[in-house]
A = this chain, B = another copy of it.
Amino acid sequence: MNYTVTQMSRLAGVSARTLRYYDKIGLLKPEFINESGYRMYGPKQVDLLQQILFYRELRFSLKEISKMLHVPSFSLIGALTEQHQKLIAEQKRLDLLIATVEKALAAQKGELIMSDQEKFEGFKKQMLDQNEKQYGKEIHEKYGDHIVNQSNDQFAQMSKEDYEATVAIQNELIQNLKQALKLNDPASEPAQKAADLHRQWLFYFWPEGTYTKEAHAGLAQMYVDDSRFTHYYEDHVAEGAAKMLRDAVRIYTSK
């Protein structure tokens, strides 16, 4: 029931160096030293090591862990509570950081495009993308999916090429919607083309495998219900564009 450093290290999944270090700093001493000077560990040490590793996981410093184990009056609850608060604070900071990175990414990607296209358009599109993502989330939550952060990932991983593709699709969509409005028929070929382009476009913004006909139809309905979207489409196409797209998508998704 006695282990040498390497045996003990394999048992717990740490390095032998770690054990020697813990010995040195007085965190975990071996049970006794062999006549050859070898460190020998017993079952008590195994248990202690497990505890140490548990608290290390929780990001306590070795100093704190040492106090926990060696100072009898140590308030474990106090320490855990404090650690909990630290972790929560860290979590909040991380959330902020992630948002900042996403902004930086959007700015970086946007800049590449904006040098070619009109800057105002770029801004508007970016705004729209934001809303679109948000709405995608809401719809999927309604449908029981819990995607939450996933969609931001999706956007962050989008390449410059993908981004340009979405812009191209959007332009084509607008052209087709204009045609459809002239014909005033959501079942017409340009209207159905627009609905299909819209679906393609969504694939860039929604996480893999989350597209459903219902969600697509739901989003199109929101274009009519939500003035932000309605205005965007009215401004870029013509009056009644949001409704036309909704009707086209309804027909498209019912097939």
**A residues engaging B (CB < 8 A)?**
57-59, 76-77, 80-81, 83-85, 87-88, 90-91, 94-95, 97-98, 100-102, 104-105, 108-109, 149, 153, 156-157, 159-160
Contact = CB atoms under 8 A, between A and B. Distances in A.
Contact of A84 (B57, B102, B160): B102
Q: Which of A88, A102, A153 has the most CB of B within 10 A?
A: A88
A108 B80 contact: yes
Given A88-B153, A108-B77, A109-B77, A101 B58 contact: yes
Q: Which of A77, A91, A100, A159 has the most CB of B within 10 A?
A: A77
Contact of A101 (B87, B102, B149, B157): B87
Contact of A98 (B88, B95, B149): B88
A97 to B, nearest CB: 6
Contacts of A153: 84-85, 88
Q: Which 7 A-B pairs have the closest CB atoms?
A: A84-B156, A80-B105, A84-B101, A87-B98, A91-B94, A77-B108, A80-B104
A77 B110 CA distance: 11
Nearest to A94: B91
A81 B160 contact: no
A81 B57 contact: no
8 contacts: A58-B97, A77-B160, A80-B156, A83-B101, A84-B105, A84-B153, A85-B156, A94-B94
Contacts of A85: 153, 156-157
A77 B149 CA distance: 20
B100 A57 contact: yes
A115 to B, nearest CB: 14
Contacts of A87: 94, 97-98, 101
Contacts of A100: 57-58
A134 B107 CA distance: 38
A77 B111 CA distance: 11
Given A84-B102, A84-B105, A160-B77, A59 B97 contact: yes
Nearest to A91: B94
Contacts of A77: 105, 108-109, 159-160
